[in-house]
Amino acid sequence: MGGGYTFSQSLNAVVADLRLYNRTLTNSEALDFVSCKETHLDPQPLVSFSDFKNNWKIEGSVNIEDLNLADICQKESSFLIMFPEAWSFSQAVAMCNNVGGSLPVPISARENEQILSFLNPYIPYCSDAHGYSIALGMLKEYETHSHYHYKSGENITYSNFLYRRDEDSNCVAIAVTEDDYGYWYYSKCDLELCTICNFTSVTHLKVRGLCDESLFDTTYLVLGESGEKPVFRGFSNSQLQWTGTTWTLTYLPENNVKATMTTKFEDEYPVGLRQWITEGDRCSLQQGSSQFLVISACQASSFK
């Protein structure tokens, strides 16, 4: 639309639809649009996504995907994030809890299929010798051989066991080999598998330890991935992502303003108390000096 590019006027987000009209919409028209109801507004919008390739010019790192309206307007608000490292059940539970999610618990054939669809791209490096891929968030009740939700304790009525291998184990894994694709098996809880975390709402991760003048955002969302690891996107101007050898927090308007996590062991994630080396920020720290930051899903109300 002209006018040049100014970062402070840009949007770092996922945009599902955009329409610009030459008149003000009524309340009912606006409500129909955000409620995913079909709209037949007259006149047609001046600008929209209906002919994206011809009407828009793409610059920089932008991902474009075609989605059905049903994908955007589905009533369920949950989404999945992959952590491709091999962890035991207790480690997977801890990681999902740290980022505000939980292990997936399919309660219908459709939900089981959704997990498989999400899992497909990761199968080459997320399956062990038995074909187990990820742990599900349920445990076995030994006396009745029923299974229950690992957090709520509620009994899970849906079942997708092909046959009950490893009867002495009380964790449940989903298999992805050709013969038992999508079926469940009991597995040992110390078996290390990839981890999928399920989110029923957008989780806000808070960064604590920055000075008031810091350029970095203090609130982040777990959205998307980069380098096969999750990406933490700041509310305004920052992004935290894996850069091949460690985690880097970047102030997007100025790439020379960044903080790099001091990694103590392989597959370490930035949640919790971690040491960071900061460069170019406004805080009164010596250039390249380190500081401790806490990244957590805990909000201010969680602290006494």
Task: Name which residue leads in pLDDT, 190 or 264.
Answer: 190
Q: What is the pLDDT of residues 149-161, one digit of tens each?
A: 999 999 999 999 8
Segment of 119-123, 139-143, 173-177, 293-297 carrying the highest mean pLDDT: 293-297
How far is CA 299 from each of CA 99, 148, 151, 205, 302, rounded to the nearest angstrom? 12, 29, 20, 8, 5
Share the mean pLDDT of the chain.
Answer: 86
Distance CA 240, CA 234 (A): 8
What is the rounded average pLDDT of the residues 127-149? Answer: 85
Q: What is the pLDDT of residues 290-300, one digit of tens each?
A: 899 999 998 65
Phi and psi angles of residue 47, each rounded to the nearest 5 degrees, phi first: -135, 135
The DSSP string of 44-79 is --SB-STTHHHH----SS-------HHHHH-S---E
DSSP class of 254: -
Exposure of 94 in the CB half-sphere (CA atoms within 13 A):
9
Q: What is the pLDDT of residues 6-32, one digit of tens each?
A: 666 677 677 778 888 899 989 998 888
Residue 225 confidence (pLDDT) above 90: no
Tokens of 53: 């390739």
pLDDT of residue 37: 81
Q: Of 236, 239, 216, 208, nearest to 226 (Cα)?
A: 239
pLDDT of residue 304: 47
As a whole-number percent, the residues of the chain with pLDDT over 70 amount to 89
Q: What is the pLDDT of residues 99-109, one digit of tens each?
A: 999 999 999 99
Task: Name which residue leads in pLDDT, 162 or 148.
Answer: 148
pLDDT band at 278 (very low <50, low <70, confident <90, very high): very high
**Residues 209-213: contacts with CB under 8 Å, at least 24 apart:** 209/291, 209/292, 209/293, 209/294, 210/283, 210/293, 211/282, 211/283, 211/284, 213/282, 213/283
Neighbours of 254 (CB within 10 A): 12
pLDDT band at 88 (very low <50, low <70, confident <90, very high): very high
Q: Which run of H or of E encompasses 155?
A: none
pLDDT of residue 50: 79
Q: Are 220 and 233 in contact (CB under 8 A)?
A: yes
Q: Which run of H or of E encompasses 33?
A: helix 27-34
Distance CA 197, CA 226 (A): 16
Tokens of 135: 């742990």
Which residues sit opposite 83 in a β-bridge?
A: 195
Angle formed at CA 181 by CA 180 and CA 186, multiple of 5 degrees: 60
Q: Of 293, 192, 285, nearest to 249 (Cα)?
A: 293
Distance CA 222, CA 232 (A): 5
